[in-house]
Structures are given as C-alpha cells and as structure tokens.
C-alpha cells in the first residue's frame, strides 16, 4: 500500500534530520526543507545511502520572512502535490532580539508565523489528499509562556529565554484553532514535545553538557538524537490517532496544553491578526 508522503521543515539537522531518516527507513517518500543547499544535498545523499530509499529530496525554503514562507508554500504545492503529512519542525531559540524585515521578532516568525503560513497555505491540498496530518513540534516550555498580542510579535517583551516560550505558546494557540477550523476536512492538527535532545536549539539555551551528577550517580541529560524521531513517526502514522486533533503530546503520550490555549477569544484574536499581517 502507498505510504503517505511526508514533508519536514528544517531537515538539515537535529530532530528534523532524525525524523526524515526514520520515515525514509520505513519506505515513505520524504521531502525536507532547508535554507542551505550544500547541507541539504549532503543530508539527502546520506539518508538515501543509509536507507536505500530513492524517494528522499529537498526543497529550498527560508522561514525567516513572510515572503520566504509564502514562496515555500508555492514550491511545495508545485513539487509535492501528493503531500499527506506536514511536520512543522524548523525552529529557533534566539537569545538576542532580532527583528526580521517584516518587523517580527525572529522566535515569533520562525516558531509561530512560519507554521501558520505553511499549514493554512497547504490545507486545501492536504484536504484533497486526506487523510492528512499536520504536526507542530512544540515544547513543554510553552506551558510557562505568556502571549501578549501587542508585545510578543514585535519583541517588545523580549527575553532571552521567554521569547522562545512565548512563540511556542502562540504556536499552541494556533494548533488548537487550526484543528477546529479544519474539522471535517480529513486533516488532523496536533503538537508535541519531542523531549530533550542535544541539538543546535538546545546549545542556544546554554545546555551543552551531556551529563549531570546527582546523589553520586551520573545521568545523561540528553538521549541519543535518533530517539527524537519516534514521537513524530508515531503521531504521523498511528492508526489509533486517526481523527485525534487539537491535542498536545509529550513524546507519544497525551499531555495538557498550557491553560491559556483554552481561551477561544485569544485564539481567534491571534488568528484574525495573523491574517491581517499576511494580507
Ligand atoms: N532539541 C530539543 O531538546 C527540543 C526540545 C523541545 C522542542 N524542540 C523543537 O524541535 C524543533 C527542531 O529543533 P532541533 O532541536 O532539532 O534544533 P536544530 O538542530 O537547531 O534544528 C532546527 C532546524 O530548523 C531550521 N531552521 C531554523 N531557522 C530556519 C529558517 N529561518 N528557515 C528555515 N529553516 C530554519 C534549521 O536549519 P539551519 O540548520 O539552516 O539553521 C534546522 O534544520 C524546533 O522546533 C525546536 O523548538 C527541540
């Protein structure tokens, strides 16, 4: 039987790369997006060689601006018309405030606006290819995020740790709102925390040590990166999750979103404001 075609944003390293490899090993057609052609070509060649799967390719896409995201939508619609699973994985953890040319703080742009633009821009195509799934790579840190529509998008409330959490909270609000808006169209939308892995994003948080000592014993802080692919693989393919939508998972287990995510007025305000920014 034909296995769903998967697209993973940010497939050149970390969790995206591990996830692309696992899907390829299991016979899926896999597309990664990347903003560095040389690295993308090397990753695609390596995954092809390791898995023997010839259906691994990449598309260029820079998610740091609205136009870059919109161009990627056009490219995906043209090049991957059979897409069934979109994994919004690309993410940044900015420890300094950087505004993009559109005026948005970069955590907010890459971790929230990019998934919004990709998911809404591809929804009709995914619906035609149903059953389809959208997965947003989130974090348990969104639970301690704060979202202020007047401040967060522009980095007025910037904090070296807070802005990542706040952007992921915006992404969580979006996950539930999109899931509700796509009800009945054959697309589920969920978010998950992959757990802790020693990737570039974590190094940006200053978490570079691999082990810690507690009560005389040595523990590994991070698990092997290959394990980070298990949750997205399960959430994208498990037959038991057909129809499960608008949920948060900690790895493969159902978990609770931050309480603010239940605020329908806030979710709708963010949705309408985002459409206005994109108009
Ligand atoms: N690692 C963890 O423990 C952990 C925990 C919770 C959640 N997460 C989430 O997991 C996801 C993957 O992160 P990771 O840990 O695997 O980190 P990573 O190794 O830094 O991977 C991030 C990926 O996103 C891409 N990316 C970043 N900015 C981009 C942009 N402007 N345009 C296009 N692509 C861009 C990166 O491409 P370049 O290589 O070109 O920069 C890279 O491929 C993120 O959403 C992160 O928030 C990670």
Q: What is the pLDDT of residue 239?
A: 97
Q: Is residue 217 pLDDT above 90, yes or no?
A: no
Q: Report how far Cα 78 is from the mean position of its chain's Cα atoms.
A: 21
Residue whose C-alpha is closest to residue 118's, from 92, 139, 97, 136: 136
Residue 198 CB partners (closer than 8 Å, separation 6+): 207, 208, 210, 221, 222, 225
Residue 62: helix, strand or coil by DSSP?
A: coil
Residue 269 pLDDT > 60, yes or no?
Answer: yes
Q: Answer whether 100 contacts ligand 1 (Cβ < 6 A).
A: no
* pLDDT over threshold 70, residue 219: no
* 140 pLDDT higher than 70: yes
Summarize the confidence of residues 137-146 as an average pLDDT: 96
User: Per residue in 180-210, pLDDT tens?
Assistant: 999 999 999 999 999 988 777 666 666 655 5
Q: How many CB atoms lie within 10 A of CB 275?
A: 11
Ramachandran region, residue 134 (left: φ > 0; alpha: ψ -120 to 50; beta: rest): beta
Q: How far is the CA of 204 from the centre of ligand 1 (A)?
A: 11
Determine the Cα–Cα distance for residues 244 and 235; give it in Å rounded to an integer.
10
Read off the pLDDT of each residue in 231-246 and give the average, rounded to a whole number: 98
- The pLDDT score that the predictor gives to residue 198 is 77
The alpha carbon dihedral of 141, 147, 152, 157 has a sign of negative
Q: Does the C-beta of 200 come closer than 6 Å to ligand 1?
A: yes
Q: What is the model's pTM? A: 0.95
The mean pLDDT value of the chain amounts to 94
How far apart are the C-alpha atoms of 92 and 65, rounded to whole Å?
Answer: 13
- Short-list 58, 50, 6, CA closest to 30: 6
Question: How far, in Å, CA of 87 to CA of 132, rounded?
Answer: 11
Question: What's residue 17's pLDDT?
Answer: 97
- Among 15, 134, 225, 229, name the best residue to mutate to test ligand 1's pocket (greatest count of ligand atoms within 8 A of Cβ): 15
All structural domains of the chain: 5-278 (3.40.50.720)
CB burial string 247-267: b at 16+ within 10 A, e below? bbbbbeeeeebbebbeeeebb
| Cβ neighbours around 166 below 10 Å, total | 29
pLDDT for residue 29 is more than 60 = yes
Q: Is the dihedral of CA 76, 80, 85, 87 positive or negative?
A: negative
Give one DSSP letter per residue of 81-127, joined into a string.
Answer: TTEEEEEE------SS--B-TTS-BHHHIIIIIHHHHHHHHHHHHHH
Rounded mean pLDDT of 34-53? 98
Determine what percent of the chain is predicted with pLDDT higher than 70.
92
Q: State how far the Cα of 198 lies from the Cα of 26, in Å rounded to an integer.
A: 24
Give the pLDDT confidence score for residue 205 in this predicted structure.
Answer: 63
Per residue in 87-116, pLDDT (tens digit) is 999 999 999 999 999 999 999 999 999 999
Q: What are phi and psi of 92, to 5 degrees?
A: -130, 155
Return the pLDDT at 179: 98
CA 9 / ligand 1 centre spacing (Å): 9
Confidence of residue 50 (pLDDT cuts 50, 70, 90): very high
Q: Which residues contact 224 (CB under 8 A, 6 or more apart)?
A: none
> What pLDDT does 197 receive?
84
Q: Does the C-beta of 35 come closer than 6 Å to ligand 1?
A: yes
Q: How far is the CA of 14 from the centre of ligand 1 (A)?
A: 7
pLDDT at 215: 66
Reported as a single tens digit per residue, the pLDDT across 1-20 is: 679 999 999 999 999 999 99
pLDDT band per the 50, 70, 90 thresholds, residue 211 = low
**How far is the C-alpha of 117 from the C-alpha of 67, rounded, in Å?**
10
């Amino acid at each position: 039987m034909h296995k769903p075609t998967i697209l993973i944003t940010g497939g050149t390293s970390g969790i995206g790369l591990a996830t692309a490899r696992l899907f390829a090993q299991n016979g899926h057609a896999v597309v990664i997006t990347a903003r560095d052609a040389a690295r993308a070509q090397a990753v695609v060649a390596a995954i092809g060689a390791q898995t023997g799967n010839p259906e691994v390719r990449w598309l260029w896409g820079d998610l740091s601006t609205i136009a870059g995201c919109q161009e990627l939508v056009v490219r995906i619609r043209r090049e991957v018309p059979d897409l069934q699973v979109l994994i919004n994985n690309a993410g940044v953890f900015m420890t300094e405030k950087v505004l993009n040319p559109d005026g948005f703080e970069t955590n907010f742009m890459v971790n929230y606006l990019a998934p919004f633009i990709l998911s809404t821009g591809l929804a009709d195509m995914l619906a035609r290819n149903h059953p389809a799934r959208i997965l947003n790579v989130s974090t348990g840190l969104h639970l301690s995020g704060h979202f202020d529509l007047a401040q967060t998008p522009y980095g007025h409330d910037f904090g070296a740790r807070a802005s990542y959490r706040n952007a992921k909270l915006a992404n969580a609000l979006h996950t539930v709102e999109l899931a509700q808006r796509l009800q009945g169209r054959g697309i589920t939308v969920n978010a998950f925390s992959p757990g802790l892995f020693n990737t570039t994003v974590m190094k940006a948080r200053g978490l570079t040590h691999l082990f810690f000592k507690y009560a005389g014993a040595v523990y590994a802080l991070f698990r092997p990166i290959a394990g980070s692919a298990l949750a997205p693989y399960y959430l994208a393919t498990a037959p038991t999750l057909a129809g499960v939508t608008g949920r948060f998972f900690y790895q493969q287990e159902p978990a609770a979103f931050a309480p603010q995510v239940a605020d329908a007025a806030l979710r709708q305000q963010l949705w309408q404001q985002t459409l206005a920014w994109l108009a």
